[in-house]
Amino acid sequence: MDAFTIGGDLEVRRLGFGAMRITGKGIWGPPEDPEGALRLLRRVVELGVNLIDTADSYGPEVSENLIAEALHPYPEGLVIATKGGLRRTGPGEWPRDARPERLKECCEASLRRLRVECIDLYQLHAPDPEVPYEDSIGALKELQDEGKIRHVGVSNVSVEQLAQAREIVEVVTVQNRFNVVDRSTEDELDVCSEAGIGFIPWFPLAIGDLARDGGPLDDVARAHDATPGQVALAWLLARSHVMLPIPGTSSIEHLEENLGAGELELSAAELDEIAAAARG
């Protein structure tokens, strides 16, 4: 599978891994099977994945701690992308908090948990309506100037917010919700494709719905002896050269299946057919 270079110096395989699903239910607390989560993370790297997406809020802290426990000292070329800017108050609860002073504390805590001196890619998880966006982005710029962050990414942004952030700092990735049945952030994707900014679509499998039989991707999947989830991911990879899907799973079997999408070649007619079928 082909690669993409984030920020001019971080070359990653275009199918990454989302590490939000290795925690307890509601992305809260430890996973039911911590040893299984460690095995899964080691398998991710064994299979050649070198982009792992996480956040301080996954668990909270649990996902970052498991990544360090499973993989530190990190193999050469592994990019761990983390995020700050959300608080956790309980299972399924994610209030925003992107005050500059808090982002700095969060970044310091992620550095400690991940056991690194510099985070390769630090993403602002979401704009905080209580804080001017430029102030939150300015805090990341300061962390970058101090050498604590190598590259800055943003998440859950509009075209306008992305432009605002790019006035302050070089933005190397955008992480927005996007998949074949939810293309509501297509405008932001187009800006990224044009500018060579990595686009990390979250919910690439629509929380697993697209990986199940009985949906709009079945026909194309059958024709390729593939699974619907593989078709959903292959469609994303074909949609733009900057697309970096990070399917999340707690299962080695699903991980291996998802990575198979990198080998799947769909014709232009099939890509159109999938897009039309998924619109319903």
Ligand X SMILES: NC(=O)c1ccc[n+]([C@@H]2O[C@H](COP(=O)([O-])OP(=O)(O)OC[C@H]3O[C@@H](n4cnc5c(N)ncnc54)[C@H](OP(=O)(O)O)[C@@H]3O)[C@@H](O)[C@H]2O)c1
How far is Cα 201 from Cα 14, in angstroms, rounded to an integer? 12
In the complex with ligand X, the residue whose CB is nearer, 98 or 269, is: 98
Gap between the Cα atoms of 200 and 128, Å rounded: 20
Residue closer to ligand X, measured from CB, 126 or 139 = 126
Query: Rounded CA gap, 232 and 181, in Å?
Result: 9
Q: Which two tokens stand for residue 42?
A: 């080691």
74 carries an active-site annotation? no
| Catalytic hit among 58, 74, 122, 133 | 58
When binding is defined by CB under 6 A, the residue of 10, 67, 140, 211 that contacts ligand X is 211
How distant, in Å, are the alpha carbons of 48, 143, 152 from that of 115? 22, 17, 19
Q: Count the residues of the shown chain that bind ligand X, applying the rule CB under 6 A.
A: 27
Rule CB under 6 A: choose which of 204, 215, 216, 262 binds ligand X.
Answer: 204
Task: Single out the residue of 34, 208, 238, 275 in contact with ligand X (rule: CB under 6 A).
Answer: 208
Q: Which residues contact 119 (CB under 8 A, 6 or more apart)?
A: 80, 82, 107, 110, 111, 148, 149, 150
Please, are residues 262 and 232 in contact by the beta-carbon 8 Å criterion?
A: no
Give the single-character DSSP code of 141. Answer: H
Residues 6+ apart with CB under 8 A from 163: none
The nearest distance, CB 255 to ligand X, in angstroms, is 7
- Please report how close the Cβ of residue 253 comes to ligand X at its closest, in angstroms: 8
Considering only 13, 21, 88, 151, the residue that binds ligand X (CB under 6 A) is 21
Tell me the per-residue interface mask from 49 to 88 with ligand X, x by CB under 6 A, - otherwise.
----x-----------------------------------
Q: d(Cα 226, Cα 258) in Å, to the nearest integer?
A: 10
Q: Does 248 bind ligand X (CB under 6 A)?
A: yes
Q: Does 20 bind ligand X (CB under 6 A)?
A: yes
Q: Is 202 in the site for ligand X (CB under 6 A)?
A: yes
The binding site for ligand X (CB under 6 A) comprises 18-21, 53, 125, 155-156, 175, 202-208, 211, 229, 246-251, 254, 257-258
